[in-house]
Structure 1
Amino acid sequence: MTQPFVSGSLYRSHLWPGLRLELLEDRIQLHASMQLHTLSSAILPGGFSWANTMVNWHVPIHYHCDNPHEDLIRRCSGWGLLVEETVAFITAADLHQASVQEVEGDCFNLLACTTAGTRNAARAGVPRHTYSAYMPGTINTMLVIHGAMTESAMVNAVITATEAKAAALQDLGIMEHGTSHGATGTTTDAIAIGVSQQPMNGAVHAYAGAATTIGCAIGEAVYQSVLEAAGTPNHQS
């Protein structure tokens, strides 16, 4: 496990040349030297796209905006980023406590970076008060994979990563706020997956469930990154 931003501001992947993470004044910025095929639940752009940059922007816990999508477009432009090549999140979690995990696998390499704030921890499937507007808090995960995957495998990877996140929170004993239920996430979690789509040894991964080599690696990396980020003292931003 590693938390590179506790004492530094730059992390370079040791498995993927040209991939780096930077802690800037108000954000973590991931940059790849190539375009990545992305699938995300991030505010900008969301869904499938192509990007070479991912941004996790820190905001105050009481941040409120009627149009966070437009807010992020303005911010990205101000940071000198090409909006059409950027995936962007919003979080109130402490960026210094981000956890980075890397795995070298069977015809793939991957990196997971998670920031975790659990003040609004929740258990899916339990009735609660709901909101129509976006509110920060959030466990955000950036998962980038050097290798090739089908789009259905990318969706499968989201499922596996979500299961791993829920398992980490259960093992940490994090409870839904105000109840005795074990939390499975927070009310505003997000994930982005970026894939180089460059086959290693000609392999294209068609599945990413827990029984596959790539799915198992995704689960382990996300589990460990959530465990470390959410398990760090004073993480409840």
Structure 2
Amino acid sequence: MTTQPFRRGAASYASPLWPELSIRYETDHISIACGRSYETLSNAPYRGGPGSGERFVNWKVPLNYDCADPAAMMHEALIRWGYDPAKAVGLQTAAHLTHAAFAEEAGDECRLLVCASAGTGNAARAGLARETFSAYEPGTVNLIVLVDGKMTESARVNAVITATEAKSAAFADLDVRDRSLGRTATGTSTDAVLVAVSQSERSRYVHRYAGAATTIGNAIGRLVYAAVHEAVRTQGEP
């Protein structure tokens, strides 16, 4: 089951499964604070790649956004908000954050929470020739996948793949089209995925794979599909 807590003006979301998370909606960003460092893997414009973080931020960028140096702009914004830039991982978007969707469940030796923000104005189909660009633009489908459990680094890569496949499945089922090609879109041209894992000592089992046929991969896929489907389906609603 998914929820969109910020559509009716709520300033925070209290996860029933994961109450220690601090999830807040501010005027121009969503902040998820974990209270401790998580191992991360992402293509986030700010502190992406393999790394760590204890706060994950999805920023709706301003009209004066400078795509020439997104990391520098994000660094300035984090300081302005009072967050430690060295402990944050930052995503950026032009989509409405009020319509961000959350999905969560207790899995096999883990807890999972997914947050998806989505817009489809620049929907694109991978695998076909198209116009390209070199400058960074803010992502339109941003996925934050939190895992309270243990995963190997390769399993985190697997989780990124599974989340991406689930996003594409949601696009296909909603018949989102690449406007320039007229074909079903697989995502947008600027999507981002962040997987963050607690590596908590409470978990005895280490997940080494996260494909669709594993318990954790199946759960990640279902949650991402549900959250993306809800965020995309409602993007034009109040």
TM-score by length of 2: 0.95
Equivalent residues of 1:16, 1:146 under 8 A apart:
no
Please report how far the alpha carbon of residue 137 of structure 1 lies from its aligned counterpart in structure 2 after TM superposition.
4.8
Aligned to 1:106: 108
The answer to whether structure 1 residue 50 and structure 2 residue 63 are counterparts is no
Aligned to 1:22: 24
- Gap change, CA 1:179 and 1:60, over 3 Å in 2: farther
Q: Of residues 187, 192, 195 in structure 2, which corresponds to 1:193?
A: 195
TM-score by length of 1: 0.95
Q: RMSD of the alignment, in Å? A: 1.4
Aligned to 1:74: 76
Aligned to 2:6: 5
Runs of 4+ in structure 1 displaced over 3 angstroms?
A: 60-64
Gaps of 5+ in 2: none
Equivalent residues of 2:110, 2:203 under 8 A apart:
no
Any residues of structure 2 matched to 1:213-224 within 5 Å, and which?
Answer: 213-224=215-226
Please report how far the alpha carbon of residue 80 of structure 1 lies from its aligned counterpart in structure 2 after TM superposition.
1.1
- Gap change, CA 1:231 and 1:92, over 3 Å in 2: same
Q: Of residues 144, 152, 156 in structure 2, which corresponds to 1:150?
A: 152
SS of the residue 2:218 aligns to: helix
- Gap change, CA 1:63 and 1:119, over 3 Å in 2: farther
- Gap change, CA 1:175 and 1:74, over 3 Å in 2: same
SS of the residue 2:150 aligns to: coil
Equivalent residues of 2:66, 2:73 under 8 A apart:
no
SS of the residue 1:178 aligns to: coil
Aligned to 1:211: 213
Q: Of residues 125, 128, 146 in structure 2, which corresponds to 1:126?
A: 128
Any residues of structure 2 matched to 1:163-182 within 5 Å, and which?
Answer: 163-182=165-184
Equivalent residues of 2:139, 2:192 under 8 A apart:
no
Give the paired residue count: 235
Say which is worse superposed, 32-41 or 158-167, in terms of deviation: 32-41
Equivalent residues of 1:51, 1:87 under 8 A apart:
yes
Gaps of 5+ in 1: none
Q: Deviations over 1:159-185 (max 9, x none)?
A: 000000000000000000222210000
| Cα distance in 2, alignment partners of residues 231 and 93 from structure 1 | 13
User: In structure 1, what residue type is equivalent to 2:229?
Assistant: L
Equivalent residues of 1:61, 1:136 under 8 A apart:
no
Equivalent residues of 1:117, 1:138 under 8 A apart:
yes
Please report how far the alpha carbon of residue 78 of structure 1 lies from its aligned counterpart in structure 2 after TM superposition.
1.3
SS of the residue 2:90 aligns to: strand
Identity %: 46
SS of the residue 2:86 aligns to: helix
Aligned to 1:139: 141
